[in-house]
Structure 1
């Protein structure tokens, strides 16, 4: 930017953002390795007041492909020659002409007072030759805004100086100034300078060399040779090879690389490095075909590589606590069918930390019911050296093993070591795991999961029936268990003496009814307890219990001895029955 006063406190902004402090005081700035995101509006102010009535403005247009290529992201197609300041559209490969010119290659002038792609638009109905003067024209990008052909200056009112022509007077005539028309360039009646030919004497003869560092028919493409050497005039090829960030037969394919060191995150003995490359934000072009991370440990002179075929986070593992690692990345893309690596990104150093807690041991189940389970775990105090910080809380996760979604419950304090997980479905297998959250709010990996199957429902007795013959019990029940299939349910029953709690009879059945025969040696009026439980997939639920008793035996028949009538009464004598002890008199 130029100023009419000797100002030295200049301030710069990009796309109406904050002041760019590194450019403070500079009247001229240079952007190295331009990216698409560097395009936009740059403003320069005389001081920090940023007075909008006194600033310089320019717009930088950045093509998605470097000259002379088009068709991003590969950018492997060659652009046509665009005359008179025309620019190849990096998306379509067509020449976009500056104001005042038309044609496939922008080789034809519009004539005074006309503009547009086909020169079919007029600046004024009066049709005067200079009606387009004092106007700024903005064809599609990547040409940008300029004055009509033959004029320049902030107001587009200043005619081109001698020897210059075209839109904003940016084109130089390669003929005698007498024959240089400020609108069209060298006229057909002019003699081109030695070495120039073609439309308006724009083309340098093939036997001539372009200025150092350029190639092409119009010498408007930059060379990209190693060590800054000049390239072949015709195709841009380099005898000593391309420079680091360029490839291809004419060294015009911009190789991809990161504009900053990869972002790394330390996690205990592992470092996670994000090597993602973004078109327009980072340098170069193309579709990435491979990602390589190079790193070396402190004290080592050799870098080790880790290759990946996906743009994902690359892990550096097997590191020690507080170990410093230097790293950078190299990205590769296909160039003319060959996988070609780009230059390395800037290097960065990072030290391993133990911000992520170590993986805890899996929990242990302590109680299982139909709708909840209780688990406990060991406290992580012994892991403090690895975690570098205290435990804030624990998180217990559980999920139905037939589903992928995990539910998470937090403890309320870091000293808790048990949790009840409620709201579960019976006869269902759950995977339960554990992780640690430290006071830096870093989470450990989930522990190994344990599988817990909830219990079936407790059976409900329908009726009991002690037979009159005192020889059997018939027990019936039903279950509310909503397990997957009734055929998978098995009932376990047991008949115990009440007084001794000794087992009298037990067994398994898939029915909801069982008959138990009582042996003759069991005394009448003996009390029993009957227990029944249900199991599903070898998981046994809680038992239902009920008390019952064998019937009392009927008294025996007494033996009559005699019966005598005497004085109005009868005296009867008999022998008691054998089981007299059971008779209550």
Structure 2
């Protein structure tokens, strides 16, 4: 059995009180609910009070049952002083009516004599249907379950957020109310006052217990304003900050490589990075000169919003990672070199790459420097020369590793011997010359031929290192004879005679002179 506090009470039989009326009155209390007091020095029955006559009455009381008061003490009034005063500023009231001279009743009491217990809630108000901006409060007052006397004529719903100092008050006659227009993720303090119509005016009882509840965070807004600054291996992103009331917002950044080194279309797995605490983030360890697809999503309390529009970014160029591999080419032409190399593969170019190549002679002097997109070049050279060829990939001013090779130009026949000198005696002809300088091809042999005016020929073949020879009578030289002298240089390719040759006409001395 549930018994609200005075003045509603429970109808227990005389001599008992308590929620279940099973507790006997003790001390000087008696009657139904043990709310009356004995005013006698002895013979106090817990059922009927004093029974010993006036001689046993305490000071201020008289009569057979000591119920007639001479005058009530402060705080009591009524015929037998059984009622308590409920004044706001004083403990005393009119001894006969209970009227408060100040006109103001104590908190929770109303009426002309302040004897009406105003209604207020015993049960805890209920909160449900909580969203990001709304919540519904249930608080109906029920007689027998809540405090005071009814009926309830209206309610005052009071609420404030945790950072506010004053409550907002809503008056309604309904026992349920929905608070709207709240910020997300905001904690509210709420309480309810139950009001009773007294004399045509609603008078409200004490506040209920304060309850707290928080609005939730719903879906954050879409991320916009995505911008970027990129380098060869990074992309720095920024976007407009998403604010969502009091809800904490983080960001997830997803990206996908869609074109590797701008030469290989691909679709790699989507990579997710986060949570990111600010409206900016840098993606690191990316591939140079490659295209990425990027999206950013705002997240609040594990609830993700709509992803940003796809943002495509190409990273900057960097130096190539590999050196081209020169393909060895023998049997080159004498006056031009044709040189090829394997192209640097996709993924190691790191840009809109070109090849820069150099050709150096054996003195390390650069005789050719050029740039090409091809992997084959043809360069004019001199025969029988050794050259150093270097090549590397290049992106703008970013130079990759270099590879080099030594290449020999082809061989041609040697040029004509130079500065041929003939010294003649009676029966001798001595010939001297200098090695040809018209090209750098090595002379393997020299052939010196003397042809007389009569058609006879004398010939000697000498090693390429010898540049002088002597003909005598033993060789068939005759005095006073005209000779045409021809010196021819030769190698494995041909002879200088193929280019026209050189000859000198000479006459030996007359015999005896």
TM-score, L = length of structure 1: 0.32
The structure with the greater share of residues assigned to strand is 2
**Bigger Cα Rg:** 2
